[in-house]
Amino acid sequence: MDDDPSAPVVVITGASAGIGAALARELAGRHAALVLAARREEILREMAVTLGGAVEVVPADVTRRADVQRVLDQALARFGRVDVWVNNAGRGISRPSVLGLSDEDLEAMFRDNTRSALYGMQVAVPHFQARGKGVLVNVSSMLSRTPRATMRAAYSASKAALNSLTESLRFELAATHPNIRVVLVLPGVVATDFGLHALGGGPDSRTLPGAQPVEEVARAIADGLFSGPLDVYTRPEGVEPVLQHLRGLAGR
C-alpha cells in the first residue's frame, strides 16, 4: 500500500504490547502512519501485518540513546517527518518497602522509565523545533501523583521525575515554540500484563478490580493528541484521587 502523505506520522515506543500495542491499533484505525519501536522485532512485524496501512518497524532498546536516534532516522527515511512521538516504553517493580530498595532497583527504574523518555524528548523535539510544530507524548502513571501502591515506590518515583521533566519542557517550549504540544498521560490500573513483567514479579494487572480496558486508554490518548488538556487522565474521574491526596497533605 502506498503511504498517504496527509496521514499523521506517529512514533510509538514500547509498541509490542500493552498500551503501546493498543494505541497502535487505535491509530491504525484512524489512518495514521505508524513507526513502531520495541525490542521484540518478531512481534512488531506480526503486528504490522495485522494493522495494514503504512507501518515502519524499528527494533530498538530505548534505554540506548543511539537506538532512539535510529528510530527517528528510520522514520524520516520512510515518511520524511514525524508529527507525533509517544514515549510509552517502561517497566514496573515490586518491592515490599521503600526502605528495602537497592541502588540497582532505582537505577533500573530511572533507566527504563525516565532516561528512555528523556532520550525520546531529546531526539524528537529538535525535529519538531525545526518544523515549528509537533506533538510529544509522555506516558506516566497515576502512581506518580498518589502513593496508592507503595510496593511500586521506585516506579512511582521514576514517573514523578518524568512528570517534572515533561512540565519543565512544556514551560520551556511555550515561550519559543507554542505549536509544539507536550502531553502527559496519567493512566491508573490498566488491564495489561504489566504487573507480570515487573521486577520482582507482582499481580497480573488484568485481575485487579477496576482495571481500565487497554482499548479505552488507547482511545483517550488518541483523542488527546491534537486538542484538549495537556495532562490526560485516561478516566475522567482520575483527577479526583489526586486532588483528595493533595487536600489531605494540605490539611496535615
Q: Which residues are catalytic?
A: 155
Yes or no: say if 18 and 26 are a contact pair by the CB < 8 Å rule: no
Of the candidates 187, 194, 77, 82, the one whose C-alpha atom is nearest the C-alpha of residue 139 is 187
Task: Tell me the three state secondary structure of residue 54.
Answer: coil
Cα–Cα distances (Å) from 20 to 75, 89, 173, 187, 219, in that order, read 17, 8, 26, 13, 12
Yes or no: say if 36 and 15 are a contact pair by the CB < 8 Å rule: yes
> For residues 135 and 150, what is the distance between their CA atoms, to the nearest angstrom?
32
Pairing of strands 180-186, 231-233: parallel
> For residues 35 and 151, what is the distance between their CA atoms, to the nearest angstrom?
34
Yes or no: say if 181 and 132 are a contact pair by the CB < 8 Å rule: no
